[in-house]
Structure 1
Amino acid sequence: MTFFDDMPESTQGSRKPRPVRPAWAGPPSNELPGVLHIGEFLHSSERMVLALKLVEVYSTGCLLDLAWTVRRRGDSDNQWREVMDQGFNHPGSRTAWDSGLMVGISYADGGRAIAAQDVPAVPGNDDVAGPVLAVLGRGGGAANDEMVQASARYWLWPLPVEADTQLVAQWEALGVPESSLTLSAEELSAALANIRTYWSE
């Protein structure tokens, strides 16, 4: 007999089913999305570009991948430090509502949403009225003496396939006026055909 022979057998509790995430809260966890490579500018100037790189289309909604770059144009060191701080001031940050990047969506039926915070803080509630536009991930960023680059991802629910939708952005502190581009309902609908589920059962 060895030292561990008389150890009691482990008793594992019954496995509890994981709660199903509501559709408004984020993409399905078992889907590979259809991808639309948009590559369009929401704003472009000598100072800054703000672009929608791509859209990941899921059965319930889509992820919008925005990226921006600001370059130094005659700023003093103190001014540039302020620009660098502002370059990371996007939805989800504490000061974004006052001067940071504002992103919104406008549906053809008049529905709209503004991404001022993360997804609605009502876990387990399936009765959220859409549309929902929420910061779902902040990409990496980089800054140096000449340039600031950053990105963020936004979850849009429901998927607007009935009519074209307007994506709207504004960033007053960095000189970006209210600007918009159209999300094509036809292209979003076509991307649905490219979604693949991980498992059939």
Structure 2
Amino acid sequence: MDFPAWHGPPRDILGHPAPIAQFVARSEHAVVALQQFIAYPEGCGITLRITARRGSLPETVWGRLYGPHGEMDPDLRFGVRFPDGSRATPVDNAFPGWARPTDRPEPPMLVDVASESGSSADSYGCDRQMWLWPLPPPGPFEFVVEWQSMGIDMTAVTVDGTAIARAAEKAQPYWP
């Protein structure tokens, strides 16, 4: 069964990387960076790199960084904001399309797809994979992050939607 475009990257298209890698926010204890964008005809995959170091953080804060099942600190929030005022966060995704895949949700959507993480007593690193649907419009848009417990106030960086649209044109189907 093929999944609708808003569920995640297509399984039969080789996405193309967009030349975007940038820091979103840094504090004494944390770094959040946009590591890469992989563009497809109907959306793009985003790899968000999240890194933290304990330093002088109290155990109560450090212990909330990730839960017993690998879930991230609920204090970490992020999303996208487009020039037309539309926006999306992974929290917004309690939409009917998950229960009935044919129900088309209202765009845009930012969906958590996967996550890999590792930690030690004093450091934590995570690559969080997300899917942004539909493909962002050409021109600038914002990626926004907030992580109060790690010293990051709401911060927005500008992302080049035109570079993502150009990369999407180079995506190739697996089978002609």
Report the count of equivalent residues: 172
1:56 & 1:112 partners in 2: Cα distance? Answer: 20
1:119 Cα deviation after fit: 6.6
Find out whether 1:88 has 2:60 as its counterpart. Answer: no
Deviations 1:20-44 (A, max 9, x none): 3111111111111111242211111
Deviations 1:63-117 (A, max 9, x none): 1101111112234xxx24641x33336xx94972xxx211111111111112116
Conserved 8 A contact 2:46-2:131 = yes
Q: Give structure 1 stretches of 5+ with no counterpart.
A: 1-17
2:43 & 2:92 partners in 1: Cα distance? Answer: 18
The one-letter code sitting in structure 2 at the alignment partner of 1:151 is D
Find out whether 1:50 has 2:26 as its counterpart. Answer: no
Conserved 8 A contact 2:138-2:160 = no
Aligned to 1:36: 18
Aligned to 2:119: 143
Taking only aligned residues, the RMSD between alpha carbons, in angstroms, comes to 2.2
Aligned to 1:106: 81
Aligned to 1:12: none
Higher share in strand: 2
The one-letter code sitting in structure 1 at the alignment partner of 2:52 is V
Aligned to 2:111: 134
TM-score (norm 1): 0.77
Q: Give structure 2 stretches of 5+ with no counterpart.
A: none
Find out whether 1:191 has 2:167 as its counterpart. Answer: yes
Conserved 8 A contact 1:25-1:119 = no
Q: RCO (CA 8 Å, sep 6+): is it higher in 1 or 2?
A: 2
